[in-house]
A and B are shown apart, each in its own frame.
Chain A
Amino acid sequence: MNSAAPLHHQQSRSYVGKRQPRVEDEALLRGLGRYADDLAVPPGTLHAAVVRSPHAHARIQRVAIEAALQIPGVRGVLTGEDVKRWAAPFPVGVRQPMEHWCLAVDKVRYVGEPVAVIIAEDRYLAEDVLDAVEVEYDVLGVSIDPEMATNDDASVLHEAVGSNVVNDRYFNYGDADTAFEQAAHRLSLKVRYPRSACTPIECYVVLGQYDPAEGGYDVMANFQGPYAIHSVMARALQVPANRLRLRTPPDSGGSFGIKQGVFPYVVMMGLAARKVGAPVKWVEDRLEHLQGASSATNRVTTIEAAFASDGRVSALRFDQLDDCGAYLRAPEPATTYRMHGNLTGAYDIHHLQVRNRIVMTNKMPTGLNRGFGGPQVYFALERLMQRIAVTLDLDPLDVIRRNLVPTEAFPYRCAAGALLDSGDYRRGIELGVEQGGLEELRQRRESARREGRHYGIGYTVAVEPSISNMGYITMAQTPEERRRAGPKNGAVSTATISVDPLGSVSVHVSSTPQGQGHRTVAAQVVADVLGISLESIRVDVELDTGKDAWSIASGNYSSRFAGAVAGAVHNAALKIRARLDAIAAQQWQVSVEDIRFGEGRIYTADGVHATSFQRLAGATHWAPGTLPEGETGGLRETAFWTPAELTAPDDDERINSSLCYGFIFDYCGVELDSLTGRVTIDRYVTLHDAGRMLNPQLVDGQVRGAFAQAVGAALYEVFHYNEDGSFASGTLADYLIPTTVEVPDPTILHMETPSPFTPLGAKGVGEGNNMSTPVCIANAVADALGDAVEPGAIELPLTPSKVRMLMGIEEPPRPEGVAEESPQASAGGGSKLSASDSVEIPASPQQVFDSILDPDTLKAMIPGCHSLELTGDNAYRADVTVGVGMIRARFDARVELAELEPPHSLRLSGAGKSGMGDAAGAAKIRFSEIEGGKTRLDYDYEVTVGGKIASVGGRMLSSASKMLIGQIFSRLSQRLSGSTSKRSLWQRLRALTGKRGGDQ
């Protein structure tokens, strides 16, 4: 080894891995960014405004545009008739007779759905004219709640389908049934994940042009990809893909998935331009954006685990109901399947059953949204893990640790097919615990609780998938349907590098960045491979489908840049270098292995030969005759890269849905304000293993941004629909995005386990906290609220009013000198209620009857029961906390079982008193055997309350008693079956309060 060898290695590492400031910033900080609305438009460009539906569901009887056309400056109106003449419905991801056009043609199915487009000489005028279009609607019934939309009597959005459930798939991996039978414990949890969106500050912008000579459309839009959607748009426009030239601007004002949803407007404005024979520009306003752009998919999940007494989970069941809104817009139902291969999270769980249903409701269509499918899955899974810990009285972190995929198991094949590429999850937990200061956080909780404050700690582990397999979307089809359609898989990424005659380097990537800094990282990668300065490289990120290299996986989604696109850039740079290696080796008559690149020079390892990069690269243009045989001259290389690991779904329905899987371990401490219910994040710790970090500053930026959005989703943001489907979150004063005072600075920790599957060892890191943080905060709130709260009631966003309601009002101590009132004395003067109901329990009447007589079961049945003491024959004294409305009181109660007629009927009664008043109730219960060895319990009950409870909570008596009694039988059912009864308490509560609109 020659000690005098140059310091430069074959590939120097001057830039990659460094906290490199961004090349993008100089222009953006000067106000010189070129966003879609900043670009020059052709002379004569007209402006569009969109007429939208005020109804959630209605048949369009007539669209009258004559009055609008009379207004000076109006050049045309595009209607559903034009769209039917020139276009086609968008292709749909499931085989169902449902049509989605870029403008409503027969019915409107959500508030804000486009009905017509006014095309006028200026935007202000176009908006004025909106009111001149007269649309006659025949209003129809609505389906808003996803569960109710599945009912037989629900209003159906797409009549030809015959149901709102447009896709229903069942998957079975391993032997979950046996695992559930054999497990010591089973626990089921039903959760609802609401609608929200990451909502960029820049809205949609489209400039459409139509060329009748070629029959082609040329559209500029701030579209983010995936470019598989280009095919969807071309088909809708009924042109070959080369007649839809789609261009993106140099800069984008953020997207986070949302700007995928601009694609129907690309088609719409193309058609608008065709209608008037002039370029048409449309800039979406904020109301249009909030009500009609795109939303995350809301989901109702029932998740169930089979587990041992140490918390080790052997099997999981997911029942997921995904509400994709009014239309199944491409690439939906991708939300449902993005996480499919890794549904078991960071855990080593072998048996898995999944049922996925897609339901249509009268709400805006869903689409890409940062985290895509992840927050929904982890909200169910990690809430369940927390519940398992609470049920077994274990530390939640111990339950997590016991279930992690073992370090020696990587690459690890998950039950549903994901191949977890690399990781060391146990070390991640230990690092997070030590460096994040968990012990101190626990002490803070302890001292807060000593002072009577509501403080809780929540934990989450998650795998963060990146680089989506384009084939995962076909999981919505059956294996047979997939066979007929042909395999879909892979994730082709591309990059092009050119070296011009003066030797300067230009890079093009088809990743359509939305603010992440792709230009900087691409330059870092190329600078290292070619040994030139970062500043000398220019990176172009505009995408023009008419001129640039692209493929269906191009675009900005699934955190694919660092792993896939930067990898393609690296490969393209290697191709350039290989050609220059060969040229230099021939010129100097040395071996290729001796050639080095560094500091803008190309030289031999022994230092004998050297030249500037520009000179040697320029020779490919100026003196091609001097080049080695086979060298073509010119210097431009395009690399396409797709990973072999992304295969199509197999016949056993296993799918490696993503290429890379990062690891996240989060925990946080939160405090609940006992007066207002406001949740304050005391400390948030987030540990990430995203493989090799290409630019740690940008990695931290991604983590912080995702975290802030997740704080919004956890605590503030929700798209609220009223019962009639009207939209109630149409301004940023209604849709609450957190500001500087709500978002704390998280403690960010890193470890690096490089991916073996990407060229640079990097994995995606853009979406992790969107997935992990909402449930981590929810787990902390659950911990702070304690056991008295129904687990399924912890629903996002955890707004102050919701949390305050869950906290209830603790009973104040009885003032000194005030005598105890006797229950009998005041009960007569209070509120009285009687009602009846029934419930089904999966056990025989005798079993049910016997179990009610068992004191342990009785104690478990009574919600809020602290102790139950036998005082006589089937008579007990109980210490119970009961809530009526927001009031929560602790009762000293007598409970009695009488009129026993086994196994046909009995009478359950109770009476108690508290500082807040008194209450008494009795229920006559009848047991009858029904099909399947189950029992139907019919019960008539009577409840009387008196004292403060009656005066303050009297109005709530009916719903509170119904809820309480429902809870008693739901608990009985759970105890007998190991799961909750079919109608959960929360469902009952919703039914009672009539809350069928809401945050769905």
Chain B
Amino acid sequence: MYVRLDERYRVTLTLNGRERSAYAEPRTQLCDFLRHSLGATGTHVGCEHGVCGACTVMVDGRATRSCLMLAVQVEGRRVETIESLAKEGELNDLQRAFREHHALQCGFCTAGILMSCHEFLGRVTDPSEAEVRDMLSGHLCRCTGYTGIVQAVLAVARARQNNRQETP
């Protein structure tokens, strides 16, 4: 796709399983596009320079900073945000674990953290605490001191492991 600076382009993508489209300037950040053009305000913007991790979404199944990506780059791609996690109206196991382990307070960084954890748990089935902490080190949380988040991720990994063993 070739773009001109002074024109707006219709960007079409699959957002949380549904095809969506809206206009974006070539320079529009993906996070702004998701929030303000598509109304997916669950994704939050914390630093706009790729450090805090609050804006993390999944692009084609990979955790990605949406502040470091342009809207036009997701043309034809699959984007998942925090709004995709609850299935059939129910919180998923990761979300429930966050609640049980008091892994959030203000909840602002949580959107990005959930997406990184979601991707990580899909890749790593039996993580150590050190691996979980390493994965989370790309996120800043100012409220929780991280303990609850680490506990929640480890608890989900264990529970999924047990489920797998019980259902051969």
- Check A30 against B86 for contact (C-beta < 8 Å): yes
For A286, give its contact among B49, B82, B114, B141 (CB under 8 Å).
Answer: B49
Q: Does B72 contact A (CB under 8 A)?
A: no
What B residues does A705 contact at CB under 8 A? 105, 142-145
User: Do A200 and B142 form a contact, CB below 8 Å, given A30-B83, A124-B25?
Assistant: yes
- Check B107 against A33 for contact (C-beta < 8 Å): yes
- Check B40 against A31 for contact (C-beta < 8 Å): yes
Q: Does A294 contact B (CB under 8 A)?
A: no
What A residues does B150 contact at CB under 8 A? 740, 745
What B residues does A706 contact at CB under 8 A? 145
- Check A29 against B145 for contact (C-beta < 8 Å): no
Q: Does A700 contact B (CB under 8 A)?
A: yes
What A residues does B28 contact at CB under 8 A? 124
Q: Does B44 contact A (CB under 8 A)?
A: yes
Q: How many residues of A contact B (CB 8 A)?
A: 53
What A residues does B159 contact at CB under 8 A? none
A515–B103 Cα distance when bound, in Å, is: 12
Interface locus among A247-255, A328-336, A849-857, A859-867: A247-255
What B residues does A29 contact at CB under 8 A? 82, 85-86, 91, 95, 98-99, 104, 107, 110, 114
What A residues does B107 contact at CB under 8 A? 24-25, 28-29, 33, 251, 253, 515
Interface locus among A147-155, A730-738, A795-803: A730-738
User: Do A200 and B106 form a contact, CB below 8 Å, given A32-B42, A286-B49, A740-B150?
Assistant: yes
A703–B144 Cα distance when bound, in Å, is: 9
Interface locus among B58-66, B119-127, B132-140: B132-140
- Check A26 against B91 for contact (C-beta < 8 Å): yes
Q: Chain A, 36-62, contact with B by CB distance < 8 Å: what is the 0/1 string?
A: 011000000000000000000000000
Q: Chain A, 187-219, contact with B by CB distance < 8 Å: what is the 0/1 string?
A: 000000000001111110000000000000000
- Check A201 against B99 for contact (C-beta < 8 Å): no
What B residues does A708 contact at CB under 8 A? 141-142, 144-146
| A513 and chain B: residue at smallest CB distance | B106
Q: B90-117: which have CB < 8 Å to A?
A: 91, 95, 98-100, 102, 104-111, 114
Q: Does B79 contact A (CB under 8 A)?
A: no
- Check B142 against A701 for contact (C-beta < 8 Å): no
- Check A200 against B108 for contact (C-beta < 8 Å): yes
| B54 and chain A: residue at smallest CB distance | A201
What B residues does A746 contact at CB under 8 A? 145
Query: How many whole Å from A257's CB to the nearest CB in chain B?
Result: 12
A373–B160 Cα distance when bound, in Å, is: 46
- Check B106 against A202 for contact (C-beta < 8 Å): yes
What B residues does A203 contact at CB under 8 A? 46
Query: How many whole Å from B72's CB to the nearest CB in chain A?
Result: 14
Q: A52-110: which have CB < 8 Å to B?
A: none
Q: Does A704 contact B (CB under 8 A)?
A: yes
A201–B147 Cα distance when bound, in Å, is: 18
- Check B140 against A732 for contact (C-beta < 8 Å): yes
- Check B102 against A700 for contact (C-beta < 8 Å): yes
For A31, give its contact among B25, B41, B133, B138 (CB under 8 Å).
Answer: B41
Q: Does B43 contact A (CB under 8 A)?
A: yes
What B residues does A30 contact at CB under 8 A? 42, 82-83, 85-86, 91, 95
For B44, give its contact among A198, A202, A731, A732 (CB under 8 Å).
Answer: A202
- Check B106 against A251 for contact (C-beta < 8 Å): yes
What A residues does B42 contact at CB under 8 A? 30-33
- Check B142 against A28 for contact (C-beta < 8 Å): no
Q: Does B68 contact A (CB under 8 A)?
A: no
Q: Chain A, 728-752, contact with B by CB distance < 8 Å: what is the 0/1 string?
A: 0001110001011101011000000
Q: Does B149 contact A (CB under 8 A)?
A: yes
- Check A201 against B85 for contact (C-beta < 8 Å): no
A861–B91 Cα distance when bound, in Å, is: 68
- Check A201 against B141 for contact (C-beta < 8 Å): yes
User: Do A732 and B51 form a contact, CB below 8 Å, given A29-B98, A516-B105?
Assistant: yes
What A residues does B100 contact at CB under 8 A? 21
| B41 and chain A: residue at smallest CB distance | A38
- Check B145 against A704 for contact (C-beta < 8 Å): yes
Q: Chain A, 162-204, contact with B by CB distance < 8 Å: what is the 0/1 string?
A: 0000000000000000000000000000000000001111110
Q: B1-35: which have CB < 8 Å to A?
A: 25, 27-28, 35
What B residues does A755 contact at CB under 8 A? none
Q: Please indicate which of the listed interface residues A29, A701, A732 has the most CB atoms of chain B within 10 Å of its own CB.
A: A29
> What would 6 more interface pairs be, CB under 8 Å, given A202-B106, A286-B52?
A37-B35, A201-B54, A201-B141, A254-B142, A732-B49, A740-B134
Could you list 8 examples of A-B contacts with CB < 8 Å? A30-B42, A35-B41, A38-B41, A198-B142, A200-B142, A201-B108, A731-B49, A732-B49
- Top 10 nearest A-B pairs (CB, nearest first) are A31-B42, A515-B106, A253-B108, A28-B107, A704-B145, A31-B82, A708-B145, A732-B51, A515-B105, A38-B41
